[in-house]
């Protein structure tokens, strides 16, 4: 396997891990980690400003 393939696969799995972590945090009503939000291209400050009901 080439390095670029390994790097791409690692990046994809990192994004999936972050998406799952943010989703689980939202479902549980707890704050998501800023690093996970940033990896997904979501501004942590704006995400926390969303009003949940």
Q: Six-digit token pair at 44?
A: 């942590």
Q: Give the DSSP H or E segment for 7.
A: helix 3-28
User: Using 50, 70 and 90 to split pLDDT, how confident is the model at 50?
Assistant: confident
pLDDT on residue 10:
87
Residue 31, pLDDT > 90, answer yes
Give the closest residue to 35 by CA, choosing from 10, 9, 17, 12: 17
pLDDT on residue 26:
92
pLDDT on residue 53:
66
| Percentage of the residues of the chain whose pLDDT score is greater than 70 | 94
């Amino acid at each position: 396997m080439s390095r670029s393939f390994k790097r791409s696969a690692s990046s994809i799995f990192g994004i999936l891990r972050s998406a799952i972590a943010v989703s689980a945090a939202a479902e549980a009503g707890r704050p998501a980690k800023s690093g996970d939000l940033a990896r997904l291209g979501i501004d942590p400050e704006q995400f926390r400003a969303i009003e949940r009901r």
